[in-house]
Amino acid sequence: MNARPTVKSATTAAALHPILAERWSPRGFDAGHELTTGQITALLEAPRWAPSANNSQPWRFAVTQRGTDAFKAILSSLTPRNQAWAHAASALIVVAAETVKSDGCPSRWALVRHRAGGSAPHCAGRA
Ligand SMILES: Cc1cc2nc3c(=O)[nH]c(=O)nc-3n(C[C@H](O)[C@H](O)[C@H](O)COP(=O)(O)O)c2cc1C
Q: What is the pLDDT of residues 26-83, one digit of tens each?
A: 999 999 999 999 999 999 998 899 888 888 888 899 999 999 999 999 999 999 999 9
CB-based burial label for 58 (10 Å; 0-12, 13-18, 19+):
buried
Say whether pLDDT at 108 is over 80: no
pTM for the full predicted model:
0.83
Helices 116-126 and 37-48, axial angle in degrees (round to 10): 130
Structural domain that includes position 60: 34-126
Most ligand 1 atoms within 8 A of CB, residue of 11, 23, 25 to mutate = 25
- Classify residue 20: in a domain, yes or no: no
Encoded amino acid at 76, one letter: S
Query: Is 59 part of any domain?
Result: yes
Predicted local confidence at residue 56, as pLDDT: 84
Index of the ligand 1 atom closest to the CA of residue 10? 27
Q: For residue 78, is it within any domain?
A: yes
Q: What CATH number is given to the structural domain containing 111?
A: 3.40.109.10
> Mean pLDDT across the stretch 91-118?
77
Is 64 a member of any domain? yes
